[in-house]
Chain A
């Protein structure tokens, strides 16, 4: 019972990280139809940003790194969109190959820059403790990750729902052609969307340094699960992404707890495939005239 309880914060924090990653994907995938395989490497860029900042910021590197990683990963995403992806709009398979290639290049670049072995980022001392609760353990670091994801979701929601630029983003997501004939510069909206989506991956990368070591291929481990969250949650939907991310994180951690890592993956995939048989459109649907 005790260890069963301990899996709860593990599952929730993994779900929180997946959510941060999937938020970005759901924008780029939902708005532009781009399957960005390099999104995982923006996570890695965020993690290494925290690693690099240690020399300067010491124990508080993780905190300092949050905004910096957002900017670094966002800038990487922006450059990728401007330099390459925008030439491939409407060609999903070519985009997939292109971004996969970029992902490999970025991973190798990280190996050359930081070395192949994993590195460690030291968590701030005030995040190393834990709360004893009902006989279980609640590490501060995991609580911090959940709070971070919650703050990001609230921030994104407020941005999408309350700001002019957010309204413009939703308009482009819902009807790109109509947005253009309404005078909206859709290309500029795409750039900003890509920046924000990639930046969130960078924030997720920083959060991951609190859970474990950082390596050049850290992104590949999470990118598939993040895509599952996007597909299961429904494209371009905040609500669906939140539910799917938490569910997937929990399923992952408990399946791993009761079986082992590889069997857990099989179980997760089987559940997702089964779910999509019943709801191929995901939990919530954006692209329809009928409303959820």
Chain B
């Protein structure tokens, strides 16, 4: 790890879809081994923030520094290769590839190319082992989300970026996914930037949080501050 700064430092990030500006200078920091929760109501720019951090949507202003290196202008795949693992919203997979090929195509794009990374990822989500030969499009939403997370783990990220990982997932699998996040964070010390709508999960896992409203950070603080009434007001629908 280079330098003493945080693993991820986002400063004054701005992003827009065409002329519609969505982010107006967002600051977020994730220290090594920390779990930071990004919260806010629907449509405030949480997903846009993650897409801008990953370069999926090139930011119009501000900087993204990962492990001491300015990655703001790097293409998405270069950020992934530097250790930023991203699981986008909506349990995305390559639907016509088998579960094994979903993981393989990711492994072959990594720097380490170590096939053991696939076994490690499957240890986190053992349920996937029985589906290795099946096409990803045939899995249930919850299984697809586990595959999506396993896919990100294959890259051996130092920072895992998750966008509402339990949204729209059947309850039986939600617990497995939450448990996996908790284990990765607590036992392996993986840093996590988590977008989450629900206070309950955030209270349990987060070291710190930011609340976004209308494209700016309205509130930031440590886990204890989450019990604040002001926080409840910002998140109430």
Identify the A interface with B (CB < 8 A).
Answer: 164, 167-168, 170-171, 174-175, 177-187, 286, 288-291
Q: Binding site of A, secondary structure by majority: helix, strand, loop or mixed?
A: helix
Contact residues in A for B77 (Cβ distance below 8 Å): 180-186
A185 to B106, CA, bound (A): 11
Known: A183-B81, A185-B77, A291-B138. A174 touches B109 (CB 8 A): no
Closest to B85 in A: A181
A73 to B88, CA, bound (A): 38
Cβ contact within 8 Å between A181 and B138: no
Contact residues in A for B101 (Cβ distance below 8 Å): 167
Known: A183-B80, A183-B81, A291-B138. A168 touches B109 (CB 8 A): yes
Instruction: Indicate if B42 sits at the interface (CB-CB under 8 A).
Output: no
In the assembled complex, the CB of A49 is this many whole angstroms from the nearest CB of chain B, namely 34
Contact residues in B for A183 (Cβ distance below 8 Å): 77, 80-81, 106, 109-110, 155
A184 to B75, CA, bound (A): 10
Total interface residues on B, CB under 8 Å, equals 28
Contact residues in A for B137 (Cβ distance below 8 Å): 289-291
Closest to A167 in B: B105
Kindly supply a per-residue 1/0 record for chain B positions 140-157, scoring 1 wherever the CB is within 8 Å of any chain A CB and 0 otherwise.
Answer: 000000000001100100
Q: Which of B75, B81, B97, B151 contacts A167 (CB 8 A)?
A: B97
In the assembled complex, the CB of A206 is this many whole angstroms from the nearest CB of chain B, namely 32
Contact residues in A for B104 (Cβ distance below 8 Å): 167
In the assembled complex, the CB of A244 is this many whole angstroms from the nearest CB of chain B, namely 19
Closest to A291 in B: B137
Kindly supply a per-residue 1/0 record for chain B positions 44-68, scoring 1 wherever the CB is within 8 Å of any chain A CB and 0 otherwise.
Answer: 0000000000101000000000000
Known: A168-B108, A171-B105, A291-B135. A181 touches B95 (CB 8 A): no
Residue picked from B92, B104, B109, most chain A C-beta under 10 Å = B109
Contact residues in B for A291 (Cβ distance below 8 Å): 95-96, 135, 137-138
A185 to B95, CA, bound (A): 19
Kindly supply a per-residue 1/0 record for chain B positions 78-100, scoring 1 wherever the CB is within 8 Å of any chain A CB and 0 otherwise.
Answer: 00110000101000111111000
Instruction: Indicate if B76 sits at the interface (CB-CB under 8 A).
Output: yes
Q: Which of B88, B94, B155 contacts A170 (CB 8 A)?
A: B94
Q: What 7 pairs across the A-B complex have the smallest Cβ distances?
A: A183-B109, A183-B80, A180-B76, A182-B106, A181-B86, A184-B109, A171-B105
